[in-house]
Amino acid sequence: MTEQALQPLEPMKAVITAVQDILEVRQTWVTGKAQELAQVEQAVRELKAAKAGEGRVRRAERRVALLRKVVKALQAGYIPIPRFNINGQAFSIEEMPLKAIAAYNEAQQSGVFDEIMAVTGRQARRRGWGREHQRDPLIVGIVEVPAVTVLRSDTDSKGLPIQFRVEVEPPHEEQFLIAWWRPEDLRPEEVY
């Protein structure tokens, strides 16, 4: 082949290299979390054999539960993202493009996530000119280990039993990207 004929192939090589790099990074995540899971499972076995304190064993078991879910999500191809504050942010399927709806449905059917939520962002304050800036909505899958509360009992000064709740461990979660889009860039064929 001539050098001119090879020039159109150069961009393809760059794309292939980029995809290979992404796959290697993803595999590194899966391998790293799987190794961490194996280490924590071993730690749980060792802690139980050493008759360690109940609280320490419970914390390690909760880490195992979370890591199992994270590994499952990574193996399913989902990408971990920074954790957003998403309390109470509902979303409407009516506002989603078709590709996001398909990704949402697939994520629901996969059974990987404990919850699927939206991160909608807030409207920026108007600066006096131009249109208001929008935030791109994200659909996020959440894997979590809920908070653990332990009921402890004690006695008061008269020797009568008292029960009170003590939260021992806060909830732990990881978030994974399912879909995102730019509302202002949607074409009619993407919505209908």
pLDDT at 97: 83
Co-location of 89 and 71 in the same domain: no
Tell whether the model's pLDDT for residue 76 goes beyond 50.
yes
Residue 75 pLDDT > 80: yes
Q: Are residues 134 and 100 in the same domain?
A: yes
**Quick one: 63 and 5 in the same domain?**
yes
More confident residue, 58 or 168: 58
| pLDDT attached to residue 124 | 45
**Which of 29, 47, 75 marks a domain boundary?**
75
Q: Which is more confident, 80 or 125?
A: 80
Same domain for 65 and 109, yes or no, is no
Higher pLDDT, 68 or 89: 68
Q: Measured between alpha carbons, how far is 145 from 173 in angstroms, rounded to an integer?
A: 6
| Same-domain pairing of 186 and 116 | yes
**DSSP structural state of residue 184:** G
Give me the number of domains the chain comprises: 2
Give the least confident one: 10-19, 51-60, 73-82: 10-19
Residues 111 and 133 in one domain: yes
**Residue-wise pLDDT tens digits, 101-148:** 899 999 999 999 998 888 875 544 445 544 445 567 888 899 988 877
d(CA 48, CA 41): 11
In one letter, which amino acid is 68? R
Tell me the mean pLDDT in the region 54-61: 86
Q: Residue 79 — φ and ψ, nearest 5°? A: -105, 125
Q: Give CA separation, 105 vs 22, 69, 97, 109, 137, in Å.
A: 25, 19, 12, 6, 16
Does 59 have pLDDT greater than 90?
no
Residue 69 pLDDT: 92
Both 178 and 114 in a single domain?
yes
pLDDT attached to residue 130 = 46
pLDDT at 15: 59
* pLDDT (0 to 100) of residue 64: 92
Q: Which domain does 44 fall in, by range?
A: 1-75
Q: Rounded to an integer, what distance in angstroms lies between the CA atom of residue 186 and that of residue 100?
A: 12
Clarify whether residues 108 and 128 are in a common domain. Answer: yes
* Average pLDDT value for the chain: 77
